[in-house]
Structure 1
Amino acid sequence: MRGDISCANSVLIQVSKHPCDRLVGSAHSILRHPSMPAGCFLLMWESLRRGEPFGGYLQNRAFGDAGYWTFTIMLPLGSSGHLSIQMNPNGSEYLDLARAAYLAVRPIELAAREQGISGRGAAKLGRRQLLRQLRQAGFADYQDFLSAAVTAEVTGRSHFTATPTFAGTAGATTALSDACAALSSQFDGSWDRLSEFETSIAAFRQEVRQFDQHRTDSRRVLHQQRMAAATRVRHPDVILATAWAEMTSEDAGDVAVRLAARLDRLDVSVTKARVAMALALIQLDAVAEHAAEVAGRSAAQCRSTTALGALVRSLRSTAGWAMGPSNDALVEAQRIMETVAAARRDMEVPRTLLDDRAAGPSGNRSRE
């Protein structure tokens, strides 16, 4: 699968130091730095073939062989190819992790090539080694790493959560500016809600642990009360506490198991929504930059208008994809909150009965 550059904006021209006429029509490999593992690009093309976005830290090569790092998002555009958005990395821990992984993997690929292994074979080897490096760092797979990295990149940039500005826009781009401002406002609210969900999930998990502890406490009380029953000692409080423990012990366990499974699913939904929202915010920012260029005619000679059209189409698709998981997560989080509240109410039978009577009845006693 070959990727040729069909358009570029002034930022890429400035950073890469390649003139527009040299970039357009060339393969993306014109920007590939020799220190980058082939396995990383194999992961990229596999994602694009599946119709999925790809993101990662790439070291590019500028004209004259100077290297520079980017955080790059690749978005599939169907039969129209794909869209690449590159930005300066935020300097997060994930960039350091990627650098270390590439340093470990690239020599393995080069050694494989020296042994006569094909370029594709070396790339497959590099992909395996790269995924192994990420697993050792605590990530389940590359998608897990991308989820963390893209969220960190967006979170660390305040301008991604601000309404984009379109300096010098007029005419059609004014309408585009208004549409993007509306999208930005919608994304801001969704991004904040998703951040709150992540905090809520941690709180819900604490509730689940408390339900488990409740089941343990209830079983302990049941054991103590059965021991008391063996001595034929009865007291109304003991009878009530025993009945309550019998009814709620297994209920608490069932609630804990069901909630744990639902929280796992919610965690996945929130992560997907955050990634989709982050991609949408990155595209929104890119639309703003390209629209300003088109309006100012600063990069018309490098087909920035073509890029703007592709960006708008991609943003429209990503926005719908982002809002779906976000809304689903909101609904499920609300349901879980209701379940937790109901379980909490059911378990609010005075715990003092357990605390006061756990060691055995006192006060007035009745014997059978």
Structure 2
Amino acid sequence: MSPSTTPSGAVREVGIADIFFSVTDRKGVIKHANQLFVDFAKLDWQTLSGAPHSIIRHPEMPAGVFYAMWSELLAGHPFAGHITNLAADGSAYSVYATVTPLGDDSYLSVRIRPMDEASAEFANGAYAKVAEYETELRQAGIGRRSAAEQGANRLLALISAAGHESVSALQRHTLPREIARLERRAAPIPERPGATGEVGELLTAVGAVNRALTSWTGEQHRLATLSESLRRIGKELRSELESASTGVARLSQLACERVVPKELVEPLAVWTQMQELIGTYIDGLLRVLNELDTNGMEHRFRVALAKLHTRMLAAFAAEIIDNPESETSGRQAAIALSQALRLGLSAMIEQSHSHADLTARSAATITRSVELLAIPRELLLAWRHEIDSVELPRSARRIAEQIADSANRLGAILTELRGIVDKCGEVGLGADPAALRPLIARVEAHTEAL
């Protein structure tokens, strides 16, 4: 395919069972791939090998997406996102792609069918806006690299508007969803019971890794539930504290204006004082909730990436068994996939330990914060009961009811926070990181012996 190839308007759908990869160097030159990559590119392997990966780039893909991708990769982080490619015959095919640094200036990209329609719709809409923006920049005389950088900034703005603080945050959200849907709809990883030799042993070892990762399914569900609760509770806690404080301030102002008796609101001064005293604790609690959420999402991302790489290596081992003479079924390609799996599993294990430590520390912080918050809440409730028999102007009564409502909702939040502590204690149940290490060694040993 030459740079002059234009889209024909035809679209080729990636099947649920289709999983394919390519390995490039730092300059984007293709080094390895599997047969499905070749098939979708509509080119032979001799043409693809040594060619720039941009040979399959769709012209409607904004440069800002690739600028954002390389920003992640050069920082040593994996990238995951929706990409549309262009085959040599002009047909387009959309994939959900992950790109992982291999530590030797090589990069592995694994592609699957996009499984989450909502995520794909958001990505396509955002890309269209960024592409239009980049076109305007280029027409205004802005250079290609600068337009790409500004396109990446525009993409980040759209991502932020959708509630994700960064590209990393977006991919932490989308990859686990994509892999969960893939596992529900796709067939299990391939098995070849009659296969012999090192490649047969390799596939068996990869199957053992996959079974070990399956035990993390419950962990993934617990983390997803925990993350959802953390985000919601953090927002609600801040909102109710602000609502109660606003009500106290408004009622105090009415007392200054002699609309209500001053002695009626004097007990509320204790609320204000306690808010100042525990403000640091509240800020710390909100930081802990955010950190725990971010760390949990990263943990889910790492597990999902490990599952994807396991599926890819199993599919490639099966391809070698089924087509031993295939031009793409090389030992070096298998080594690259094995290397990616090792790096990913090692990162997942390390991240698992980190998350376990964080949850233990977070539980202690949450428990202490709940104890402190309970005191001013009880104060507000007691005050509210005391003024039930007092005659108040309608405006003051509404504010008093607002304060009472906030105090009641704070009670519900404190109950949920106690539940969060229990959920923190469940993190890591049924998932043994140590069990993966010997399995990683088995996979690498059989790959090296190919």
Normalised by the length of structure 1, the TM-score is 0.77
In 2, Cα distance between the equivalents of 1:331 and 1:176? 32
- Residue by residue, what CA displacement relative to the aligned partner does 1:73-129 show, whole Å, maximum 9, x if unpaired? 111112241101111112422222222233233344445556655432333343333
- Answer with 275-284 or 30-39: which moved more: 275-284
Q: Is the 8 A contact 1:218 1:248 kept in 2?
A: no
CA distance in 1: counterparts of 2:261 and 2:186, whole angstroms:
58
Question: 1:303 and 2:321 equivalent?
Answer: no
Once the two structures are overlaid, the 10-residue window that deviates more, 203-212 or 329-338, is 203-212
Which is further off, 337-346 or 37-46?
337-346
CA–CA distance in structure 2, aligned partners of residues 355 and 327 of structure 1 = 41
Q: Distance in 1 between matches of 2:342 and 2:67?
A: 27
Q: Is the 8 A contact 2:213 2:307 kept in 1?
A: no
Aligned partners of 1:268, 1:64: CA distance in 2, in Å? Answer: 43
Aligned to 2:347: 321
Contact kept? 1:161, 1:188, Cα under 8 Å: no
Counterpart of 2:303, as a letter, is M
Query: How many Å apart are 1:28 and its aligned residue?
Result: 0.5
Is contact 2:271-2:379 (8 Å) kept? no
Worse overlay, 187-196 or 122-131: 122-131
Whole-Å separation in 2 of the counterparts to 1:287 and 1:3: 21
Q: Are the aligned partners of 1:214 and 1:252 in contact in 2 as well (CA < 8 Å)?
A: no
Distance 1:300 1:38 in 2: 34
Mark the CA change 1:165 to 1:142 in structure 2 (over 3 Å): closer, same or farther: same
Residue 396 of structure 2: aligned partner:
none
Q: Determine if the alignment matches structure 1 residue 45 to structure 2 residue 75.
A: no
**Which of 226, 231, 237 lines up with 1:197 in the alignment?**
226
- For residues 17 and 276 of structure 1, the distance between their equivalents in structure 2, rounded to whole angstroms, comes to 32
Which residue number corresponds to residue 176 of structure 1? 206
After the TM superposition, which of the residue ranges 1-10 and 329-338 deviates more from structure 2? 329-338
Please give the secondary structure, in 1, of the residue aligned with 2:31. Answer: coil
Higher mean C-alpha displacement, 197-206 vs 74-83:
197-206
Deviates more, 1:279-288 or 1:162-171: 162-171
Q: Deviations over 1:212-246 (max 9, x none)?
A: 6777899989x99982799xxxxxxxxxx999979
The residue type paired with residue 293 of structure 1 is E
Please, which moves more after superposition, 68-77 or 188-197? 188-197
2:122 to 93, 97, 104: 97
CA distance 1:358–1:116, change in 2 (3 Å): closer
Query: SS of 1:183's equivalent?
Result: helix
Q: Which residue of 1 aligns with 2:38?
A: 13
Pick the aligned partner of 1:188 from 204, 217, 226.
217
1:151 corresponds to 2:176 = yes
Gaps of 5+ in 2: 1-25, 391-450
- Shift of residue 344 of structure 1? 6.7
Determine helix, strand or coil for the equivalent of 2:99: strand
Please tell me whether the aligned partners of residues 109 and 122 of structure 1 are also in contact (alpha carbons under 8 angstroms): yes
Q: How does 1:254-333 map to 2 (within 5 A)?
A: 255-297=281-323, 300-323=326-349, 324=351, 325-333=354-362
- Tell me which amino acid in the other structure corresponds to 1:316: R
| Paired amino acid for 2:229 | S
CA contact (8 A) 1:106 1:126 kept: yes
Task: Give SS of 1:302's match.
Answer: coil
2: distance between equivalents of 1:275 and 1:162? 22
Distance 1:345 1:41, change over 3 A: closer
Query: Structure 1 residues 89 and 346 mapped into 2: Cα distance closer, same or farther (>3 Å)?
Result: same
Gaps of at least 5 residues in structure 1 are 231-240, 362-368
CA distance in 1, matches of 2:96, 2:143: 28
Name the counterpart of 2:58: 33
Which whole-Å CA distance do the structure 2 matches of 1:317 and 1:302 have between them?
A: 23
Deviation at 1:63, TM superposition (A): 2.3
Structure-2 residue corresponding to 1:140: 165
Aligned counterpart for 2:95 among listed residues 63, 67, 70:
70
Pairwise CA RMSD: 3.9
Provide the secondary structure at the position in 2 that maps to 1:70.
strand
Distance 1:352 1:106 in 2: 55
CA–CA separation in structure 2 for the residues paired with 1:355 and 1:330: 36
Alignment check: 8 A CA contact 1:61 1:67 kept: yes
The answer to whether the 8 A contact 1:17-1:63 is kept is yes
Count of residue pairs the alignment pairs up: 349
User: Tell me, what secondary structure is at the counterpart of 1:29?
Assistant: helix
- SS, match of residue 30 in structure 2: coil
Q: Point out the more displaced range, 61-70 or 313-322.
A: 313-322
Q: Deviations over 1:5-36 (max 9, x none)?
A: 11111222232332223222221111111111
* Aligned equivalents of 1:132, 1:255: Cα separation in 2: 31
8 Å CA contact 2:133–2:151 kept in 1: the answer is: yes
Instruction: Assess, with a 3 A threshold, how the Cα gap between structure 1 residues 116 and 352 changes in structure 2: closer, same or farther.
Output: closer
Paired AA for residue 124 in structure 2: R
Which shows bigger deviation, 295-304 or 97-106? 295-304
- What's the offset of the Cα at 1:197? 1.6
Alignment of 1:79 onto 2:104? yes
Paired residue for 2:386? 357
Amino acid at match of 1:309: I
2:117 corresponds to which letter in structure 1?
S
Say which one has the larger Rg. 1
State the percentage of identical aligned residues: 24
Report how far residue 38 of structure 1 moved.
1.9
The residue that corresponds to 2:145 in the other structure is 120
**Alpha-carbon offset, residue 182 of structure 1:** 1.5
Kindly report structure 1 stretches of 4+ aligned residues shifted beyond 6 Å. 160-163, 211-221, 223-226, 241-249, 347-352
